[in-house]
Structure 1
Amino acid sequence: MRTYSAEGREKEEKWRRRRGGVMKIMRTEKNTGEKIRKAIGKRAVAVVLATLLIPGAVSVIWAENTDPASSYMAVASSEKSSDAVRKAVSRLRVHEFRGGTEKKKAVVLKWKRNDEADAYSIQRYSRRTGLYREIAEITAKFGTSTCRYVDRGVKKGRYYRYRIRARKNVDGNELYGKTSRSIGVYLAPSGSKKNNVSRVATKKKSYRLVTGATVKSVVALKTGRAGQKPYKMTKNWYSSDESIAVVSAKGRIRAKDQGECYIYCAAHNGKRAKIHVMVGMDPKQKIRTVPILTFHRIVPDEIKNRYYADNQWVASLSDFRKQIRYLHDNGFETISADQFRKWYRGDIELPQNSVMLTMDDGFYEGYYLVYPVIRKYKMKMTSFLVGTRTQETTEPYDGSARERFIGWDKIREVREEYPQFEFQAHSWDLHHYENGRGAVYSRSYDELAEDLKKCTDAGYDYIAYPYGFAPENYLQAARHSEMKMAFGFDRHVYARRIDDPYNIRRLKVNGFMTMKKFRKLVRNY
């Protein structure tokens, strides 16, 4: 083992305490991994390779970490960002790993090529040591979609287990990805009654489920040869996205959230069945709460990235399109303000997959960018406008970052062509700050009532409070006005029938929201 100076040992000890876990530092050699695993025991641990620059020498570190969320780790040398290295390592995965046999006493391993990998480490399980040992390292071949390795150091009548790790060279350092799922291959001798699985057959290749539903998937392992049974009857079930659907060890699928994913059933040698699962809401189930989504300004991606990268109130057009398409593809039914009011009063019932879309502030991108998307998917949306910002004509769209607002000419056009895209009030002249706070907080009851009257005189029946909140005198003024309902704002609360009709809660969809968070935001069960 390499020795270090006192200073080097002190720095290494500090690094080890900071990173946590069981660490061993050894010199680089082929079987370092096996020596480390033997030293720390044969527990089911995640062993990963990382590189650390220590004064005087570059050493290889194997880290034991039992936290599934940290199944791999990489530490950058010198000043290189460890986050960048983690991202590089996370892409080094081995997909569709499977094995078979050749007639001439050989095991053939195949897997899907990873574009990020420079080489692959082939490991075989040793019954003598109880560890996996590297038997070969092959260079990644480009121009082909499948990689292949033939292990000829095998004997008939024996069962061999393999796994693979991808390697990438980054700035002279060797980074290894997460180890693949292990597979086993049986070299059946002549006259054997058992053999490897040649096909995993399933009765049904796709399911349409509603959230919360379960179904038992039936599969059968086939050897393809009469009179022979699979060497192992084990079935390894897993899901491509456990936030959408999960599967038990016996093949029972449970739908969790709306979306699509794949359920896989793999045999001992990597042969697998692929089952498509589509999860939606149950349209027959009556809704008890309504998610009301609030968007603000939507701009092209280049404008978002260049000028508004840190602004949560500005979202990219590509993200908005993905969100609306998700609602469409998963059967959501958008509702108007009038429909929501009828549901609130108990006049109608709505299906479980109902959602209300709103947009605040009246930016002219609402007409040029948002309106075409809503109309394409035949949805409904309510846009809340500020009276003093609404001029007679709308400026032509020029794709710049400057704020501009929709005019009455486009409002009349949309109302005539597609009334499902409606316009309501966002106050007449209260959407600005005075003395460091919203103007509504410095106005009297009479002034607030007058502002509401201007909105109702302009034909608006509903209002969304400026900045989403209202003081008590504003709430009282709204209750005594001709407004049918008023909408506030809350990050986590769905609209309910027991809520104040003049303070209905809405949910913010900001410019940083991922699709995973969006799916969680709209699921209503």
Structure 2
Amino acid sequence: MNKPIASAMLLFLIGVTLLLPALSASDGKALYSDQVAVLMYHHVHDEDTSSSTISTKLFEDQLVYLQNNGYHFISLGQFESFMQGADVPDNAVFVTFDDGYESFYTHAYPVLEKLRIPATSFVITDKHSDPQAYAPPFMSVEQIKTMTSAHPGMISAQCHTNGMHNDPVTPYMTNRIIVDGVQETEEQYRARIVADTEACIRSMSPLGPEIVNAMAYPYGVFDKASAQLVHAAGIRYAFTIVPEMAKRNVNPLQIPRINAGNPNISPEVLHETIKRRIQITAP
């Protein structure tokens, strides 16, 4: 074999080797079917740092990596249809954000829009009166409307309670709090959970075209009583922080999510985390 031909073959083999990841990602093989990896994020920012803050680059790198490795992103509407019996694509992923920080609008939304990836933001509504008074600041109602109206069904906004996201040590959702120096009664507790949930739904309903019927529990904390109360107030789907895959037979008020919003979660680590959570269905 002469030298030019050998060189050409070597270049060809190198090219094929470089293409192998892309070829394997598009070979149609499903990692999983009939279940959804619901991802949880909080804050995407390039100066702020915390265990729940990731950079814009890492956020985009994660999503692009998943796209290139055969994952298919679905919207809230598709997820709810799945829970009601509809099919979803193989390797389905649903992106969610908690709290309603302004960074969802300024940092995450442009990436989602560019990649055409749906997402849902769970919003704390008692911050709407003065969203810039906090660190980090929260989204304004105008910012939320801008996203949901520009991409109906793709970007959605739902509830993270109205005013029960204030104390991780004594979560308001499950504890009987002190009112005027006296612990609230069981009746007062039940009335408070229902009233707060209804207030959140009222605040969020004008901000997008979709029905407000979903919630992420504050700090992921809930119990049987609180789940029943938010359901009575109008919530049909409630999301936890239990790190599992979501299957159709899961309790719709106890939907698991996989944390993707830690700065140490590289695209590859996220991919492997999802793979470890896949639930094998018996034939």
TM-score band by shorter chain is 0.7 to 0.9
CA distance, structure 1, for counterparts of residue 109 and residue 216 of structure 2: 19
Q: Give secondary structure in 1 for the equivalent of 2:96.
A: strand
Query: Is 1:453 aligned to residue 192 of structure 2?
Result: no
2:125 maps to a residue whose letter is G
Q: Normalising to structure 1: TM-score of the pair?
A: 0.44
Alpha-carbon distance in structure 2 between the residues aligned to 1:455 and 1:282: 44
Contact kept? 2:174, 2:221, Cα under 8 Å: no
Q: Gaps spanning 5+ residues in structure 1: where?
A: 1-195, 207-261, 264-272, 396-400
Higher strand share: 1
Matching residue within 229, 232, 236 for 1:480: 232
Q: Which residue is equivalent to 1:356?
A: 94
1:296 corresponds to 2:42:
yes
Q: Which residue of 1 aligns with 2:209?
A: none
The structure 1 residue matched to 2:259, chosen from 508, 518, 521, is 508
In the other structure, the counterpart of 1:378 is 116
Distance in 1, matches of 2:29 and 2:198, equals: 41
1:439 is paired with a residue whose SS is: coil
Q: Distance in 1 between matches of 2:121 and 2:61?
A: 20
Mapped partners of 1:317, 1:296: distance in 2: 12
Matched with 2:67 is 328
Letter in 1 for 2:272: K
Q: Is the 8 A contact 2:173 2:193 kept in 1?
A: yes
Which residue in 2 is equivalent to 1:90? Answer: none
Residue 312 (structure 1) aligned with residue 45 (structure 2): no
Q: Which structure has the higher relative contact order (CA within 8 Å, separation 6+)?
A: 2
Give yes or no for the alignment of 1:422 onto 2:161: no
1:222-264 Cα distance to aligned partner (Å, 9 max, x none): xxxxxxxxxxxxxxxxxxxxxxxxxxxxxxxxxxxxxxxx79x
Note if contact 1:426-1:463 (Cα within 8 Å) is conserved in structure 2.
yes
Residue by residue, what CA displacement relative to the aligned partner does 1:420-447 show, whole Å, maximum 9, x if unpaired? 111000111111117x322223242221
Deviation of the 1:199 alpha carbon: 3.4
Asked if structure 1 preserves the Cα contact closer than 8 Å seen for 2:66 and 2:267, the reply is: no
Letter in 2 for 1:334: F
**Alignment partners' CA distance in 1, 2:190 and 2:158:** 22
Partner of residue 78, structure 2: 339
Cα distance in 2 for residues equivalent to 1:487 and 1:281: 31
Q: How far apart are the structure 2 equivalents of 1:453 and 1:332?
A: 35
Q: Which amino acid counterpart does residue 417 of structure 1 have in structure 2?
A: A
Change in Cα spacing, 1:317 to 1:200, as seen in structure 2 (3 Å) is same
Give 1:455 deviation, angstroms: 2.2
Alignment CA distance shift 1:445-1:318 (3 Å): same
Instruction: Report the Cα offset of residue 200 of structure 1.
Output: 8.5
Q: Within 2, Cα distance between the matches of 1:447 and 1:283? A: 50
- Relative to total residues, which structure has the larger helix share, 1 or 2? 2
- Give the aligned partner of residue 167 of structure 2: 433
Amino acid paired to 1:325: V
Cα 1:441–1:332 change in 2 (3 A) is: same
Alignment pair present for 1:387 and 2:125: yes
Describe how 1:242-257 pairs up with structure 2 within 5 A: none
Structure 2: which amino acid aligns with 1:503? Q
Tell me, in whole angstroms, the C-alpha distance in 2 between the residues paired with 1:361 and 1:497: 26
1:511 partner letter: P
With over 3 angstroms needed to count, the CA separation of the structure-2 counterparts of 1:417 and 1:403, relative to structure 1, is: same
* Structure 2 Cα separation of the partners of residues 365 and 294 of structure 1: 15
Measure the CA separation in 1 of the matches of 2:135 and 2:202: 30
User: Which runs of 5 or more residues in structure 2 are unaligned?
Assistant: 177-188, 206-211
**1:314, 1:389 → 2: CA distance?**
20
Asked if structure 1 preserves the Cα contact closer than 8 Å seen for 2:62 and 2:266, the reply is no
- Displacement of 1:520 in angstroms is 1.2
The superposition leaves residues 323-369 of structure 1 with CA deviations (integer Å, 9 ceiling, x where unpaired) of 122233334321122211111221x2111121000001111011111
- 1:118-165: CA deviations, max 9, x gaps? xxxxxxxxxxxxxxxxxxxxxxxxxxxxxxxxxxxxxxxxxxxxxxxx
CA 1:275–1:512 in structure 2 vs 1: closer, same or farther (change >3 Å)? closer
Is contact 2:215–2:238 with CA below 8 Å preserved after alignment? yes
| Alignment partner of 1:407 is 2:140 | yes
> Is 1:280 matched with 2:87?
no
TM-score (normalised: structure 2): 0.78
